[in-house]
Amino acid sequence: MQQLDLDRQSLREVNATLQAQSDHTNQPMWEIVNPKGAHAIACGLDADLDVTIRGSAGYYCGGMNKRATIRVEGSAGPGLCENMMSGVTVVDGDASQYAGATGRGGLLVIKGNAASRCGISMKGIDIVVHGNIGHMSAFMAQAGTLVVCGDAGEALGDSIYEAQLFVRGSVASLGADCIEKEMRAEHLERLAALLEAAGSTTDPASFRRYGSARTLYNFDIDNAGAY
Amino acid sequence: MERTPRTHPVKSWTFDDYTSSYIRRAAATGIYDIRGGGSKRRLPHFDDLLFLGASMSRYPLEGYRETCGTAVTLGTRHAKHPIELDIPITIAGMSFGALSGPAKEALGRGASAAGTSTTTGDGGMTAEERAHSTKLVYQYLPSRYGMNPDDLRKADAIEIVVGQGAKPGGGGMLLGQKISDRVAEMRTLPKGIDQRSACRHPDWTGPDDLEIKILELREITSWRVPIFVKVGGARPFFDTTLAVKAGADVVVLDGMQGGTAATQDVFIEHVGLPTLACIRPAVQALQDLDVHREVQLVVSGGVRTGADVAKALALGADAVSIGSAALIALGDNDPALEEEYRKLGTTAGAYDDWHEGNDPAGITTQDPVLAARLDPIQAGRRLTNYLKVMTLEAQTIARANGKSHVLNLEPEDLCALTVEAAAMAGVPLAGTSWIPGTTHGDDI
């Protein structure tokens, strides 16, 4: 395993080294030591790498990741894996607000809790949170799947488009145009696959599904109270 | 029987014909008026300023013999590769979706031939506009539609859009009529729905966060390209100060005459500052931070002529940006299409229902039949001509004021025709040394 040390190397050096790796590298395994909450660690990667961050990361860890597997042995600050395209990120601890924001693909696993606005404007990413999520999560979520093994805060899925939400625990409240939906076999199958990929043994049958009522897709003055 | 004389019927100034029609339309539809473009009201503007020219106290340059430079470089503060432009006029961000494919291509062709940049919009970068734009600025918007690191790295600059002049504090709007299959796919939205994008970025709040966001974007693009921050004309002194603090290479400042693809008329006409009122506070902020000319200022919103360009530069801008004017150059609101505009219930010069997608000029539409009306090569040529004319005009004015480069124009070359313009632009009222708002006119 190759080591990068943020005590001895600049953020630019660390990211440039990882960004320079191609799929043909014989050094796919990397660790970053002494992250100490630094921002923008391991962002913009675009290769089949396996990067472990030995500690907690600051803002935008793994931003816009493509294909790499990123492991955070700690917690992550705001904007974790924002606009992630593909690959996998696993955070052992908690994630701050906006985790997985606008993500377009890949799998984000948060083994602790996620703060507010988890999955905001998500566009295809799959997010599995082993714990709870904060308020306004999945706001304007367009596509992808958000799985919450714990509880969800207020206004879940406000103004949601076509993303799918699965919550095992309580939902403090649903946002505008977000409703509970029937859990069919294909949803259980999808949920089971995501839970397995995220290392969760939670029973898929114990979840409830939420999504868009699609009543706000085209403006109607009689819906003005919902805006 | 003799008729009693009566006074002439008088319509109310308060309830004039337009206002009454507004009330009747609102009552009939229950929906606020949505339209494209910028503010249409009469505002203090560049027309209210004049250049003084040269005489005994200033030495002019020969109009056709002595060089007057027009090249500008944007993004010199941090980027490895700043944008080098031949002219100080750029094309503002306009999305594929709001505009047709041929219109975007024409903008790229026209700007490239004139040696300047064009800009993407809400909805991402299309392969066509990248191919036809030698210098392309990629907008990073709250919606993040189509955002991906590959396109980000193809850009020559990144413009983080905090707001725009037509609707500072408002998000994008693209109604269902224009959400075609391709637009829907680029934006990851169902076809035919009304798209109302967010007014705030989803993953940062405030200038402290923005500083870190800029760091992330620089890391992803290897610190290669400049980062612009675009703000609507709201609180230009503070907004410019905070953008610089956050690390912007370039501040783009858009006044309320700046156009939009679609938003509420009440937003366009009642929120924000006129462009003229924005420039001096922004320049003051840059000067206070000792970064004027190091962090470049691009001004947009109602720039139409070379005189407007010269006036904006004289007030301290490094470049201007045009959107509505560029569309007119392509063929928007052409009187030759008057018959078709009348069928749409409007007239050439007033057509602003861009959100409905029925543009007979083929510019603000996603209808393939209408879009095919616009020849991107010819339209691009018209835009090139227009950009060159504006540049020549700005050079003419600069030479007349004794300047060997358009960026050498300065506020001292200007006077104002109205008290309002004098106050906003910070230049003396014509024939006086009085700048409203300053205590000592004698200091001029």
Query: pLDDT tens digit string along B152-198?
Result: 999 999 999 999 999 998 887 777 777 788 888 888 888 888 887 88
HSE (side-chain half, CA atoms, 13 Å) at B182: 15
Average pLDDT, chain A: 96
CA B40 to chain CA centroid, nearest Å: 14
Distance CA B141, CA B75 (A): 19
Exposure b/e, B345-354, CB count within 10 A at least 16 = b: eeebeebbbb
Domain ranges of chain B: 35-409
pLDDT at A12 over 90: yes
Count of A–B CB contacts within 8 Å? 103
Question: Quick check: B202 and A101 CB within 8 A?
Answer: yes
Contact status, residue B124 vs residue B151, Cβ threshold 8 Å: yes
Flag whether residue B369 sits within 8 Å of chain A, measured between CB atoms: no
Q: What percent of chain B has pLDDT over 90?
A: 85
Residue B444: predicted pLDDT: 40
B80 at A interface, C-beta within 8 A? no
Give CA angle at B65 (B60, B69), nearest 5°. Answer: 75
Q: What is the pLDDT of residue A227?
A: 60
d(CA B315, CA B93) in angstroms, rounded, equals 23
Q: pLDDT tens for residues B317-350?
A: 999 999 999 999 999 999 999 999 999 999 999 9
Task: Select from B92, B422, B88, B429 the least CA-distant residue to B276.
Answer: B422
Mean pLDDT to the nearest integer, B80-95:
97
Q: What is the mean pLDDT of residues B195-207?
A: 90
DSSP 8-state assignment for residue A206? G
Whether ipTM tops 0.90, in short, is yes
- In chain A, what residues touch B219 (CB-CB under 8 Å)? 11-12, 15, 40, 43-44
Sign, CA dihedral A11-A13-A14-A15, equals positive
The more confidently predicted of residues B177 and A96 is A96
A41-81: pLDDT as tens digits: 999 999 999 999 999 999 999 999 999 999 999 999 999 99
CB B194 within 8 A of CB A218: yes
Q: Which residues in A lie closer than 8 A to residue B198 (C-beta atoms)?
A: 121, 140
CA distance A12 to B323: 36
Which candidate, B220, B219, B211, B221, places its Cα nearest to that of B248?
Answer: B211
pLDDT at B369 over 90: yes
What's the pLDDT at B443? 47
The verdict on A181 touching B (C-beta cutoff 8 Å) is no
Contact B89, B70 (CB under 8 A): no
Contact A123 B144 (CB under 8 A): yes
Beta partners for residue B183, in sequence order: none
Looking at the predicted structure, is the pLDDT value of residue A9 above 90? Answer: yes
Does the pTM surpass 0.90? The reply is yes
Q: Which amino acid is at A173?
A: S
Q: Is A46 on the interface with B (CB under 8 A)?
A: yes
Average pLDDT for residues B22-40, to the nearest whole number?
Answer: 93
How many C-beta neighbours within 10 Å does residue A29 have?
A: 13
Using an 8 Å CB-CB cutoff, list chain B residues near A143: 188
pLDDT digits (tens, 9 = 90+) for A172-200: 999 999 999 999 999 999 999 999 999 99
pLDDT tens per residue across span A111-142: 999 999 999 999 999 999 999 999 999 999 99
Looking at CATH, the fold of the domain delimited by B35-409 is given as TIM Barrel (3.20.20)
* Record: contact B148-A85, CB cut-off 8 A: yes
Q: Backbone phi, then psi, for B201, in 5-degree steps?
A: -65, 145
The structural domains of chain A, with segments of one domain joined by +, span 97-219
How do residues B58-76 score in pLDDT, each as one tens digit?
889 988 789 999 999 999 9
| Confidence (pLDDT) at A217 | 85
Over residues A156-181, mean pLDDT: 97
The dihedral formed by the CA atoms of B109, B301, B435 and B399, expressed in degrees to the nearest 10: 10
What average pLDDT does the segment B2-19 reach?
A: 93
Q: Answer whether B216's CB lies under 8 Å from A43's CB.
A: yes
CB crowding B314-328: b at 16 or more within 10 Å, else e:
bbbbbbbbbbbbbbb
How much is the pLDDT for B193?
83
Residue B442 pLDDT greater than 60, yes or no: no
Asked whether residue B228 carries a pLDDT value surpassing 50, the answer given is yes
Nearest-by-Cβ selection for B149 from A44, A139, A221:
A44
Q: Does B206 touch chain A (CB under 8 A)?
A: no
Longest dimension (CA), chain A: 61
In one-letter notation, the amino acid at residue A144 is G
